[in-house]
Structure 1
Amino acid sequence: MSDATAPLTPELLIQAYGAGLFPMSEHRDDPEIFWVDPHFRGILPLDGIHVSRSLARRIRRGGYTVTLDSDFSGVLDACADRAETWINAEIRRLYVALHRMGRAHSLEIWQDGELAGGVYGVVLGSAFFGESMFSRRRDGSKLALVHLCDHLRSCGFTLFDTQFITPHLASMGAIEITRAAYRAHLRNALALPASILAQPLCSDRYSVLQRSTQTS
């Protein structure tokens, strides 16, 4: 448990990610933060994301735009806008600070000028640590994951950490691995430099879909 008299710093948070830990709170009104190091870890293989036929049709239909880091705070707040959330005020402060340092990033899906979905996370080496995602329109978070995975691959990332597995993530191809296997992946990812800004975000949804390696 973190010491309430000694607030966490963004630098300590980065060190924790590098050691395989991530922070959580019990709920939005709980000021305490604790570290999590699960026995089993969820990852989304960047070369094996699963795009269903219905999602592929949704991508082809278009009617949405994709941006990177255009509204980090909006994505963060949308992820916290639910009945139960682990994003308390201190966690929000830390991730906004990480974003200003270039260590946390968001990908946004827009429809009719409004946020329809998005995902945010932390980058370190060639690892992307996915923190949370949201949907305000149908398939909003799925569209965000497809476009983010494509962008991470093009930028040289090798690890997409989802922390835990949910049915939603499993449907997209996420798998669960042991703590030992995760740490081996993490060591390899930390040894390889990557930048989420190395390539421009692809705006051609047909190319993004074509590059997705597993479509059913």
Structure 2
Amino acid sequence: MHSVFAALAAQFPAPAAARADGLLCAGGDLRPERLLAAYSRGIFPWYEEGLPILWWSPDPRCVLRPESFRLPPRSARALRRRPFELTLDAAFSRVIRACAGPRATVKGTWLTPEMIAAYEHLHALGYAHSVEAWRDGSLAGGLYGVALGRAFFGESMFHRVSEASRAALAGLVALLRLRGAELLDCQQQTPHIMRMGGVMLPRASFLERLARALAADGAEEPGGRRPESIPWAPWKKGYVYSVVSGSWMARS
């Protein structure tokens, strides 16, 4: 592992030191190397404007194994009748800003301008990605997260049209299967995720799976030159989704 990256990772306390609610530590910054160092240790930022940066490592941890994902029958039928058009990384900034928008059940937002800028920087480097669901040329829903090795850390999703976020999640899972990903981290339990195959893992089990997912990746992609201080290559290969076949194809 690169020495700069290793030093940043070592600045975080051991995840087992987290409080019962998952809070591990506070402070630092959101530069790309620190963010990815945190993710590589199973730690993620989550805080509100006006607070210091808070870093979390919940126990247990909600994950989706790509091979175990399943759509609820009603959603599967609806998406077969009228599928959405899916894209990868076509509107990252629009997706993350939509995820930051007001919600009926949540007061405020954890996606501060500082956080949005940090993830947009990761996106420019090839480590943060979005899947968009379109209907009649309009953005109907989507999700974004961070890819590192053979792990994907889901951050947030939104929808403006019924079933659009599920379509985006199904598209992400199909892409992760194509890429040989081993772990989709959902961070926290929600009924939405659990109905689609989510499981709760003790932190120790999650960290073991994460270590395997990160150890499994070391090759560069074509055009995927990594920043010097980050050990894992970014996703640079483009993919196109076919509504007819319901699958992704690498862009030639």
**TM-score interval, normalised by the smaller of the two chains:** 0.7 to 0.9
Structure 2 residue aligned with 1:183: 207
Q: How many residues align?
A: 203
CA shift, 1:85, in A, is: 1.8
- The answer (yes or no) to whether the contact 1:24–1:36 under 8 Å persists in 2 is yes
Moved over 6 A (4+): none
Structure 1 residue aligned with 2:27: 2
CA shift, 1:32, in A, is: 2.3
CA shift, 1:98, in A, is: 0.2
How has the CA–CA distance of structure 1 residues 199 and 95 changed in structure 2, closer, same or farther, with 3 Å as cutoff?
A: closer
Structure 1 Cα separation of the partners of residues 244 and 170 of structure 2: 10
- Once the two structures are superposed, residues 78-114 of structure 1 have per-residue CA deviations (whole angstroms, 9 ceiling, x without a partner) of 0000243211111111100000000100000011222
Aligned equivalent of 1:101, options 104, 109, 125: 125
**Which deviates the most, 65-74 or 85-94?**
85-94
| Identity level (%) | 40
SS in 1 for 2:116: helix
CA shift, 1:140, in A, is: 1.2
CA shift, 1:200, in A, is: 2.7
How has the CA–CA distance of structure 1 residues 190 and 105 changed in structure 2, closer, same or farther, with 3 Å as cutoff?
A: same
**Which deviates the most, 97-106 or 46-55?**
46-55
Structure 2 residue aligned with 1:34: 54
- Once the two structures are superposed, residues 4-60 of structure 1 have per-residue CA deviations (whole angstroms, 9 ceiling, x without a partner) of xxx4311110001001100011x3x32521100111101011001112221121221
Matches within 5 A, 1:147-166: 147-166=171-190
Q: Does 1:74 pair with 2:98?
A: no
What residue identity is the alignment partner of 2:84?
Answer: Y
CA RMSD, 1 decimal: 1.7
SS in 1 for 2:68: coil
Structure 1 residue aligned with 2:81: 61
- The answer (yes or no) to whether the contact 2:86–2:134 under 8 Å persists in 1 is yes
Q: Which runs of 5+ in 1 are unaligned?
A: 209-216
SS in 2 for 1:130: strand
SS in 2 for 1:50: coil
Structure 1 Cα separation of the partners of residues 185 and 61 of structure 2: 8
Bigger radius of gyration:
2
Q: What is the TM-score of this pair, normalised by structure 2?
A: 0.76
Q: Which runs of 5+ in 2 are unaligned?
A: 1-25, 220-233, 248-252
What residue identity is the alignment partner of 1:86?
Answer: W
Aligned equivalent of 1:131, options 127, 135, 155: 155
SS in 1 for 2:87: strand
Structure 2 Cα separation of the partners of residues 24 and 81 of structure 1: 16
CA shift, 1:204, in A, is: 3.3
Aligned equivalent of 2:45, options 23, 27, 36: 23
Structure 2 residue aligned with 1:214: none
Structure 2 residue aligned with 1:112: 136
- The answer (yes or no) to whether the contact 2:62–2:187 under 8 Å persists in 1 is yes
